[in-house]
Amino acid sequence: MPLHILLPLVVLGIAGIAVLLHLIGWSKPATLADDAAAKRAWLEEFPDDPPKRVVLSHDHHAALIETEKGHGVVWPMGADTTARYLTDAKISRTGKGLRIDLPDYTAPRIHLTLDAEEANQWPSLMEHPA
């Protein structure tokens, strides 16, 4: 197929599908129903490290996890979640919550949406054992 047809087709196709999916309402981030759901989401990534403690965010979109090995977070990847340990993390405040910079090519930046109280509390929970 000639490039001058293929290229607009691909660009418009991707843009069109993106707009359609968004209008249907399929851009909502994953929600963690309760502590048990957050625990399950963590175990999906780290089946050998059961959480000792779970702190679910007030909006149910993220969770702080503590295990034998340290602290980690579960956060939404679109409609699903993923999780990482916070080893060597740089944590900073943003207007909407916290930003976590990790030395991890597959998860370099995590933006957590938190209320003011959580954004104040979580950094200390992330650094010190409870």
Partner 1 sequence: MAQPDGAPRMTDQITFPDVVSWAVPFFIAAILIEVLWIAMKGKGGRYETRDAVTSLIMGAGNVASGLLLGFIAYGFFMVLWALTPLDLGTSWWVIAVCFVLDDLRYYWVHRFGHRIRWVWASHVNHHSSQHYNLTTALRQTWTGTFTFMMIVRSPLILLGFHPAMVLFCGGLNLIYQFWIHTEAIGKMPKWFEAVMNTPSHHRVHHGRNARYLDANYAGVFIVWDKLFGTYVPELEEEKPDYGLVHNLGTFNPLRVAFHEWVGIFKDATQPGITWRDRLNYCVMPPGWSHDGSRDTSEEIKRKYLAHHPEKRGTPGF
| Minimum distance of partner 1 from residue 6's CB (angstroms) | 6
Q: What is the DSSP string of 21-84?
A: HHHHTTTPPP---SHHHHHHHHHHH-TTS--SEEEE-TTSS-EEEEETTEEEEEEEETTEEEEE
Q: Give the span between the Cα atoms of 32 and 10, in whole angstroms.
A: 35
Per CB under 8 A, contacts with partner 1 among 9-68 are 9-10, 13-14, 16-18, 20-22, 24, 26-27, 44-45, 47-48
- Cβ nearer to partner 1, comparing 85 with 122: 85
> Residues interacting with partner 1, by CB under 8 A?
1, 6, 9-10, 13-14, 16-18, 20-22, 24, 26-27, 44-45, 47-48, 75, 77-80, 82, 84, 104-110
